[in-house]
Amino acid sequence: MTDYGVPIIETVDLKKNFGDLKVLKGISQKIFKGEVVSIIGPSGGGKSTFLRCLNLLEVPDGGHVYFEGEELSSKSTDLDLHRQKIGMVFQQFNVFPHLTVIDNITITPMLEKKVSREEAEAEAMKLLKNIGLDDKAKEYPRKLSGGQKQRLAIVRAMAMHPDVMLFDEPTSALDPEMVKGVLSVIQDLAESGMTCVIVTHEMGFARKVSDRVLFIDGGVIAEEGTPEQLFDHPQNPRTKEFLSQVL
C-alpha cells in the first residue's frame, strides 16, 4: 500500500544534457513507498535518462535528487550506501559473466555489507528457488537464457534488500517467449509491496501493475495519472498520438 509520508524518491527540477541536447528539461516528481510507477513514452524522450538519474548513474546537470529525504548529488552523501537501497535492473541484464549464478547474487552483500558467506548463500538459494533457478546455482550465466539472466539480475538486486527497484526496459532485449516470465517476477515484486519504477514499452503490463503512469516526452512529464486516466482518457494530444501508435 502506498504510504504518502516522506517520498522515497523525489526529484526537483531535474535537468540533464548530453552535449547540446537537452534530454531532461526540469522534472519534478515524488515517488512514495509502496507505489508502482510506470514510465512510458517515445524513444529518445528521456525516460531511461530520468530513471538513471534516480541512482545517479547519470549525474544531473541541474536540479536535485532526494532519496529518503537525503540529497544524492550532494558531495557529503555516501552514494554507495544509498545505492545499496536502490536496486536497478537493466535492459541488457548485465549479469557478471565471470561469476557463477550464486556468486552473482552473493558478491555484493559479502563485499559491501559484510554478510557471511553461509548467510549470503542461504539467502541466494532462497531467491533462486523463487525464480526456479536453484538448480543452476553453480552454472555460469552463459548457460542461461535471456529470460533467466534477467530474473537472475532481479534477484541479485533483491539480495541487497533495496527500498525501491528501478527497471530500465527490463524486457526489451528479450525474445518474445521470455517476456512473460520476467514480467511475472516483477509483478510478484510489485504486489509484495516493493516500490517500483518501471520504464517499459509493455503497455498492457504497465496498465495492470501500476498505481501511476508517467508519460515522458521531450524531456518533460507531458502527462501523468492512474492507468485508467492515462490509457483510457488521455488529455494531452501527444499522449493520445503516442498511445494510438503503440496500442
Partner 1 sequence: MGPSLLSVLLDYWPIFLKGLVGTLKYAFIAVFFGSLLGTLIALLNLSKNKILSAVGMIYVNVLRGTPLLVQMYIAYFFIPIAVPALNSVPKEVYVLLALILNSSAYVSEIIRGGINSVDRGQTEAARSLGMSAKNCMLKIVMPQAVKNILPALANEYIAMIKETSLAGTFMLYELMYTKTILANKFLVWQPLFIIAGIYLLCTLVLSALVQYMEKRLSVSD
**Which among 74-82, 131-139, 208-216, 232-240 is the span making contact with partner 1, rule CB under 8 A?**
74-82
- List binders of partner 1 among 7-66 (CB under 8 A): 55, 57
Q: Of the candidates 55, 7, 52, which has an alpha carbon nearest to the alpha carbon of residue 212? A: 7
Q: Kindly tell me the burial class for residue 4, based on how many C-beta atoms sit within 10 Å of its own C-beta (0-12, 13-18, 19 or more).
A: exposed
Residue placing its CB nearer to partner 1 in the complex, 142 or 247: 142
Q: Which of 153, 179, 189, 222 binds partner 1 (CB under 8 A)?
A: 153
Assess 85 for contact with partner 1 (CB under 8 A): yes
Smallest gap from Cβ 99 to partner 1, in A, equals 8
Answer yes or no whether residue 80 interacts with partner 1 by CB under 8 A.
Answer: yes
Residue of 151, 156, 207, 212 that binds partner 1 (CB under 8 A): 156
Backbone angles phi, psi at 34, to 5 degrees: 90, -10
Distances (CA, A) of 29 to 32, 65, 105, 184, 197: 10, 10, 31, 27, 12
Nearer Cβ to partner 1 (138/142): 142
Q: Which of 40, 86, 128, 206 binds partner 1 (CB under 8 A)?
A: 86
C-beta closer to partner 1: residue 62 or 97: 97
- Segment contacting partner 1 by CB under 8 A, of 30-38, 63-71, 152-160, 216-224: 152-160
CA angle 160, 150, 68 (to 5 degrees): 35
Q: Residue 136 is placed in which grid cell?
A: 543452476
* Interface segment toward partner 1; rule CB under 8 A; list 86-94, 114-122, 191-199, 209-217: 86-94
Cell of 204: 498492457
Cα–Cα dist 142/136, whole Å: 11
Nearer to partner 1, 65 or 95 (CB): 95
- Which residue, 153, 152, 181, 155, is CA-closest to 168? 153
Per CB under 8 A, contacts with partner 1 among 87-116 are: 87-88, 90, 92, 94-98, 107-108, 111-112
b/e 134-166 (16+ beta carbons within 10 angstroms → b) = eebbeebbeebebbbbbbbbbbbbbbbebbbbb
Determine, following the binding rule CB under 8 A, whether residue 142 of this chain makes contact with partner 1: yes
User: Dihedral of the CA atoms 23, 29, 30, 34 (nearest 10)?
Assistant: -60
Report the interface residues with partner 1, using CB under 8 A: 55, 57, 80-88, 90, 92, 94-98, 107-108, 111-112, 140, 142, 153, 156-157, 160
